[in-house]
Structure 1
């Protein structure tokens, strides 16, 4: 089966996060004709798919779930359209075709690994084996060897209730939390080879009624970090004295070694880049990010992938597996990738 035909079958199966069981069962059945396949349940009716040959030292890996959208497939001469076409079922289709071709050539000791929950809580990625992975995400066929981290947190201000007619008898928590917003926006956060820190204040909540002075207000924030997250926690603790801080997500940034960068560039023939988003690379011991598709089209109403990129990805995934296996001692070593210090 070619990647275009397989991709259209995958798109036709709705797999919005939390509803991945059907696509998991399809892949289990399809891959069982070629590999040793396991269902790895991470929750009721939610399963990762692991397909292997020999004793895997590296994996082609991506995620089965998508953001909400209709499972309608259409195509023209150059593109295939539909939810998940770009993010990331195109990667899955290309990876499977590459893996089948490799096995027919006698290549062994590698695997495929497809997860659930990537678009929400990474529940599937938390179950991956601690091995090397070529992580499938739309990168326009450029290799990516690092990504920013995530530090999600709530900041809460406490005040004192009072009637809206006598605000002087209370203490307005919303006014206080507004000051926290200003402090965060004016704070200078670290930079590194991964780029600049990005701050987003995405949610604010406070108050109970228009005629009541609010006694509590909270903002929900996210930092895309470029150095170890402990540095940011120290900054926030110093800058936000008098506020309560609760951390919700805490994933450090990742940067691979120069050796891996050079191997990726030599194999693919393109300069490496840094991922703009957070991917499942964090959960693997080491790896790179690579895949067909324009990331700007992911999650959009007109999501699509170019057929030419699908075909090129099949060949490149094959080359990456073969080349990465040549540096077996490096990819299987116990040393971890790390964030810039």
Structure 2
């Protein structure tokens, strides 16, 4: 069974529908830890066509919607990075926090799933989870109760198929010093100065010297320390985000040689490669490698998994976040094809 709505007389209506749903979702501010309002919007909307269950994650919920016994899952995260933005639109784009990461994907998935169900498709589901932007709590619980053969993750990929992604290392580096009055700094030891020296040594490590898109990259994302300007800081801390293409343990060894003690490993996920490249031929899209890290890492351990979504990643997490209306609809059709094309189910069993 295969369905297509592309290019017909309903195109303007379909374009309006996916745009309106995207705006509705973007209007709900849902930074990590505050996803409940969005989940409360999605659950009743999905109950109109699917069996819906909520999976408790602390004080929050993953939202799971199914039709039959799902062997295909379309999934996206409900949370966004912090920083509320005004939601608005022009003729081509919808702007606002989460527009491309990843509420546009949620809207496209829901409408594709509704069409697939109307065409008689079954045995698929939707998963909208929490905590993707910081802890991965949502997906770590979801993989324990859902057993699909194929998972398609909605992240901004400009409608292309992501079959390889970088790994992720997140480290904390803490330095201890000795407090003293600012008037006599020589009587103390500045933890901030110690931290700066260590960070300078860190970014000079061979593996980080060339900031190439598809090489190992490092970002010093947060620095904190000190109690007041007139006190020598007795403690400081940095949080470091490293995206990897090589073995994580080797990178950690290189870092330990340079920095010694004080480094704590918070997250450690290796790069991964998908086994679902066959979708490229069916969807007639290019396969790409992306520099970002996604939940594909977790699903790839138990099923075939890829990333496919509307939006340009370069504007995600920024004040310029936006998503193309036309791309929302184009990706919606790709999701629909995944749910209704018999070749997808045949090949995912190979």
TM-score (norm 2): 0.81
Change (3 A) 1:315 1:182: same
Cα distance in 2 for residues equivalent to 1:254 and 1:194: 16
The aligned counterpart of 2:250 is 231
Q: CA deviation at 1:166?
A: 6.5
Q: Which moved more, 1:293-302 or 1:195-204?
A: 293-302
Q: Which moved more, 1:142-151 or 1:126-135?
A: 126-135
Cα distance in 2 for residues equivalent to 1:319 and 1:54: 18
Cα distance in 1 for residues equivalent to 2:213 and 2:329: 30
Q: CA deviation at 1:315?
A: 1.3
Matched, 1:136 2:151: no
CA deviation map 1:135-154 (0-9, x unaligned) = 00121111111222221112
Cα distance in 1 for residues equivalent to 2:225 and 2:318: 32
Q: Which moved more, 1:286-295 or 1:118-127?
A: 118-127
Among 7, 22, 42, the residue aligned to 1:7: 22
The aligned counterpart of 1:184 is 202
CA deviation map 1:58-97 (0-9, x unaligned) = 200001223432564x433333333332222211111112
The aligned counterpart of 2:347 is 327
Change (3 A) 1:212 1:56: same
Q: Which moved more, 1:126-135 or 1:156-165?
A: 156-165
- Correspondence 1:26-65 to 2 at 5 A: 26-44=41-59, 46-65=60-79
Gaps of 5+ in 2: 1-13
Change (3 A) 1:178 1:310: closer
Q: CA deviation at 1:43?
A: 2.1
Partner SS, residue 265 of structure 1:
helix
Q: CA deviation at 1:5?
A: 3.2
Partner SS, residue 120 of structure 1:
coil
Question: What is the CA RMSD across the aligned residues, in angstroms?
Answer: 2.9
TM-score (norm 1): 0.82
Gaps of 5+ in 1: 331-341
Q: CA deviation at 1:156?
A: 3.0
Q: Is the 8 A contact 2:86 2:95 kept in 1?
A: no
Change (3 A) 1:211 1:81: closer
Cα distance in 1 for residues equivalent to 2:115 and 2:269: 35
**Matched residue count:** 323
CA deviation map 1:179-216 (0-9, x unaligned) = 3223212212289x992111122333445566665554
Partner SS, residue 97 of structure 2:
coil
Q: CA deviation at 1:176?
A: 3.5
Change (3 A) 1:26 1:203: closer
